[in-house]
Structure 1
Amino acid sequence: MIIIEELVTEEEVRHIFPLMKDLRPYLDETRFIQIWKTMQPDGYRIFAMYDAGELVAFTGIQIRTNMYYFRHVFVHELVTRADIRSKGYGKELLSFVHDWGREHECVTVALESALIRDDAHRFYETKMGYDRFCYSFKKELG
């Protein structure tokens, strides 16, 4: 049985760190928790998906408003456990995000995906109907 629930305590959030590490290998657990605590006041939320009580995927999302997406859900992370990808968990979790966004009066769901993540791009475009329409740029300020 699949259950999706919001994680709100530090203990709950620590439980998803191994999946976060798959997506963001440069993070250690301490830094991950520090960043999570910093993002919370701005509305960052984590939803975990469990199948038969076992963690299979999670997403980190936030409602934002800007001039080009208007009120939208921004997906910071969407991760399915590597050993069970392509079994429909990501599709179900992202569909949950779409419904959640509608319930919270959002008109768009937006996300970014690293250039090297071809499998993720195929998933977003072919299975979920997303449009690839722009590039994101960054400059390190170190």
Structure 2
Amino acid sequence: MYENIQELTTQEQLKEAFPILNQLRTDLTEETYLHLLKEMQKDGYKLFALYSNEKIVSLAGFSWRINFYNKRHIFIYDLVTDSKQRSFGYGEKLLLYIHSWAKEQGAEYVALESGLQRISAHRFYEDKLDYDKWCYSFRKTL
């Protein structure tokens, strides 16, 4: 099995990623995804993919952030593995790659948020990858 990880930069690659990302962000249409992606990229959003046998099986989307509590860090907005490809370690491999990449680029932390209902994802982050659960995140619809 051939695997590689790369940043998605071409329109073709970004369109290829949509069906996988849509498994996490189910409310998006491809048109909305491409529109928002274009805006997000202006703020430095990057989308990396893990390919297995030349097919995307896992995605991680993140941006650089700087604040007083996490200093210079990577914030992961999107992390998803194709539902047919879960439990093969692809998400872990991709996330470990992002950790290494971020450290090489000068990040002090990698941060992410996970929905309250995603109990198995929380176990993955805490037990397998040694993430700390240290705050709640809040939002208000306007």
TM score, norm. by length of structure 2: 0.97
Query: Which position in structure 1 is the counterpart of 2:88?
Result: 87
Distance 2:65 2:16 in 1: 26
Distance 1:130 1:2 in 2: 25
Query: Which position in structure 2 is the counterpart of 1:100?
Result: 101
**CA positional deviation for 1:20:** 1.2
Query: Which position in structure 2 is the counterpart of 1:131?
Result: 132
* 1:91-141 superposed Cα distances (whole Å, 9 cap, x missing partner): 100000100101110000000001111111110011110011111000000
Distance 1:78 1:89 in 2: 11
Gaps of 5+ in 2: none
**CA positional deviation for 1:17:** 0.6
**CA positional deviation for 1:57:** 0.4
Query: Which position in structure 2 is the counterpart of 1:45?
Result: 46
Distance 1:121 1:86 in 2: 15
Gaps of 5+ in 1: none
- What's the Cα RMSD here? 0.8
Query: Which position in structure 1 is the counterpart of 2:15?
Result: 14
Letter in 2 for 1:135: Y
* 1:70-107 superposed Cα distances (whole Å, 9 cap, x missing partner): 00011011111111212111110000010010111000
Q: Give me the identity figure in percent.
A: 45
Letter in 2 for 1:109: V
Between 1:46-55 and 1:102-111, the stretch displaced more is: 46-55
**CA positional deviation for 1:62:** 0.8
Provide runs of 4+ in structure 1 moved above 4 Å.
Answer: none
Aligned residues: 141
Query: Which position in structure 2 is the counterpart of 1:113?
Result: 114
* 1:41-80 superposed Cα distances (whole Å, 9 cap, x missing partner): 1110001111111211011011110111000011011111
